[in-house]
Amino acid sequence: MIELSKEVFIDEALEKRLLPGKKTILYVGMKYDYGDRTAGLSYEHYNFYCSLLEMGYSLIYFDYQHLNARFGGSVMSDLLEEAVCYYNPDLVFYAHYHDWIRHDVWKDMRTYNVIHLADDHWRYEETKPVWELFSNIITTDEEGYQKRRGGYNVIKSQWAANDSLYRNLYLPIKYDVSFVGRCYGERKVFIGKLREAGIKVYVPQSRASQAEMIKIYNQSRIGLNFSLSSKGNKVQVKGRDFEIPCCGTALLTQDSDEIRKCFVPGEEIIVYKDADDAIKQCQHYLKDTGACDNVANAGWDRTLTEHTYRKRMDDILNSIFE
């Protein structure tokens, strides 16, 4: 249980940056990657929270995974209620991962909350008991967007990159092709085929930190991304599709209608249909480094112009606040 009263705990324990005269956002998300402090900071922290911070909003950080682990779901939900009452935010921004917060809490703040749904491509039905409690819903999945239209203020957005973090360091090229991420199953087979064809693919032996990952991208001629969802084998746009070009590196990713809405293949990114096609693309662009540099530069420009998280958040929040 909490040693202090709830309001004292909220006042003293929550991380916050309060700015008079600015709109206040109570950010509800996981600070650590999958809630594991030993795994580093989460994607949401680096991209959602840090971007909102840079945009000048008044912010209160509610790490619901940490508070759930410390106090349990019911007390954590009470603390969220207390925080909403105490700070009276203009918006509660919820980066959903686990259904740990009591549903009555979401119902009470329905008119001024927004949920960002990760992996909506395969979790639509699984997360429905939660997202149906919200009047404002953000999804990156076109199918999920179409299904909800008419009943909710559903916002079709996309992943992006925090360009204050992912940036061009102008480092000399060290790797022909690199992949940073979990190398398992079909990914391992895919990379094996590229290596058998004589393409040098660098994969870190252990989990790379953010600084290490950004350095690897900067030292790579081509950055490889896999686009299949972790469940259901549905092709989706991933965060890597923006992080790699944001570092000034040529992106090699799976072709899809959605990625074509973000970049022009052959001009701003490199796309493949399968491993054999990826081999051909790598062979071409590793031989013609000038063409590869042109793709990298065009992809970098497009990302900085249209695909930063400050722009994504600005579009999302304007649609809610207006």
The pLDDT confidence band at residue 98, using thresholds 50, 70 and 90, is: very high
Q: What percent of the chain clears pLDDT 90, i.e. is strictly above it?
A: 86
pLDDT of 1 > 80? The answer is: no
Q: How far is CA 229 from the centre of its chain?
A: 14
- Please tell me the predicted confidence (pLDDT) of residue 62: 98
Q: Do residues 191 and 201 make contact, with C-beta atoms less than 8 angstroms apart? A: yes
Residue 2 has pLDDT above 80, yes or no: no
pLDDT at 233: 73
**What pLDDT, on a 0 to 100 scale, did the predictor assign at position 230?**
64
pLDDT band at 78 (very low <50, low <70, confident <90, very high): very high
Over 90: is that where the pLDDT of 180 sits? yes
Kindly report, residue by residue over 122-171, the tens digit of the pLDDT: 999 999 999 999 989 999 999 999 999 988 899 999 999 999 999 999 99
Task: Give the per-residue SS3 of 54-78.
Answer: HCCCEEEEEEHHHHHHHHCHHHHHH
Give me the residues paired with residue 27 across strands.
61, 93
Residue 231 reports pLDDT greater than 80? no
Provide the pLDDT for residue 232: 62
Q: Specify whether the CB–CB gap between 154 and 142 falls below 8 A.
A: no
User: By C-alpha distance, which of 202, 225, 199 is closest to 212?
Assistant: 202
- The pLDDT tens digits of the residues spanning 240-251 come to 999 999 999 999
Other beta carbons within 10 angstroms of residue 300's beta carbon come to 22
Tokens of 277: 């096609």
Strand partners, 63: 29
Domains, the chain: 6-158+309-321 (3.40.50.2300), 175-306 (3.40.50.2000)
Q: For residues 308 and 312, what is the distance between their CA atoms, to the nearest angstrom?
A: 6
Helix-helix angle 289-306:275-287, to 10 degrees: 110
- Read off the pLDDT of residues 189-216 as tens digits, 9 standing for 90 and up: 999 999 999 999 999 998 899 999 999 9
Stretch 56-79: mean pLDDT? 96
**pLDDT tens digits for range 35-45:** 889 889 999 99
Predicted pLDDT at 294: 98
Q: What integer pLDDT is reported at residue 44 of this predicted model?
A: 96
3-state secondary structure of 144: helix
Between CA 50 and CA 162 the distance in angstroms is 8
CA distance 189 to 300: 29
Return the minimum-mean-pLDDT range out of 28-32, 51-55, 108-112: 108-112
Mean pLDDT of 173-201: 95
User: Does the pLDDT at position 220 exceed 70?
Assistant: yes
Residue 4, pLDDT score: 78
Classify residue 313 as exposed, middle or buried by CB count within 10 Å of its CB (0-12, 13-18, 19+).
buried
Q: Which amino acid is at 149?
A: R
- Where are the extended beta strands (E) located within 153-274? 153-156, 175-178, 201-202, 220-224, 250-254, 270-272
* Structural contact between residues 317 and 113, judged by C-beta atoms closer than 8 angstroms: no
